[in-house]
Amino acid sequence: MHSVLSGIHLVTFDLDGTLIDSVPDLAVAVDRALDDQGLSPRGESRVHDWVGNGSRKLLERALRDALGEAPSVALHDAAHEAFLHYYAQAPNVRTRLHPGVREALDALRERGMALALVTNKPHAFIAPILDGFGLFDHFGLCLGGDSLPQGKPDPAPLLYAAAHFGVAPRESLMVGDSRHDIEAGRRAGFRTLAVPYGYNHGEPVASSCPDAMVESLAELV
Ligand SMILES: O=C(O)COP(=O)(O)O
Ligand SMILES: [Mg+2]
């Protein structure tokens, strides 16, 4: 096992960008929502840098980019509703698991580690996506961006997970791809591990100084 796991009893994982490459399906739903409003598509490469603060923020960033100014509340609400509708129809068509994810989750589960998923994505999408990969049952707890009043980078969801499993924060590890994951982990008193292949607003996640980094989650186990 990787040394970052020594003394760890709970591992919490981020979803988008860490376990899955979800931008292909996210971008389709964003672009369909924009099209409903007569706005031109933004495409995957831009959406890539807008993921990480939940779906409302994703749509706000897309609308701002398409309009050249901040959207009205009514437009933001309408586009977000449309996005939720389109994404719910096809959350797992072109989404792929990152290499090493299945091996890592299987091995951690076999070793009796408590596993939690803490994403800023709306909770409703977690089960359909994880089920599609046969991984939903690996997690003893799944929290979405709308599960609690605060999402990452607030430490609240991580502290909730630690309390749920009765594990001390210092015996817990947050695994993520973005500065929001590393900040939430640090503020919660968790150890932090980052992967470099995900979504971090176009910046290297190493700048957030995680306790450790791995190229692939396979290195964990
Ligand atoms: O919905 C998002 O913005 C990203 O969610 P994540 O926390 O799983 O990266
Ligand atoms: Mg992420």
**What was the pLDDT predicted at 28?**
98
pLDDT tens readout for residues 62-76: 999 999 999 999 999
What ipTM does this complex have? 0.96
CA distance linking residue 117 with residue 138, whole number of Å: 10
pLDDT tens readout for residues 154-172: 999 999 999 999 999 999 9
CATH number, domain 3-22+95-220: 3.40.50.1000
Q: Over the range 32-56, which residues count as b (16 or more CB within 10 Å of their CB) and which as e?
A: bbbeeeebebbebebbbebbbbbbb
Mean pLDDT, residues 15-35 taken together: 98
Residue of the CA atom closest to atom 4 of ligand 1: 52
pTM, 2 dp: 0.97
Domain 23-89: give its CATH architecture: Orthogonal Bundle (1.10)
Mean pLDDT, residues 185-211 taken together: 98
Domain ranges of the chain: 3-22+95-220, 23-89
Mean confidence (pLDDT) of the chain: 98
What positions carry a catalytic annotation?
14
Query: How remote is the CA of residue 215 from the centroid of ligand 2, in Å?
Result: 15
CA distance linking residue 219 with residue 203, whole number of Å: 23
Res 34 pLDDT > 90:
yes
**What was the pLDDT predicted at 168?**
98
Measured from the Cα of 120, ligand 1's closest atom is 7
Q: How far apart are the first and last CA of the chain?
A: 5
**What was the pLDDT predicted at 1?**
87
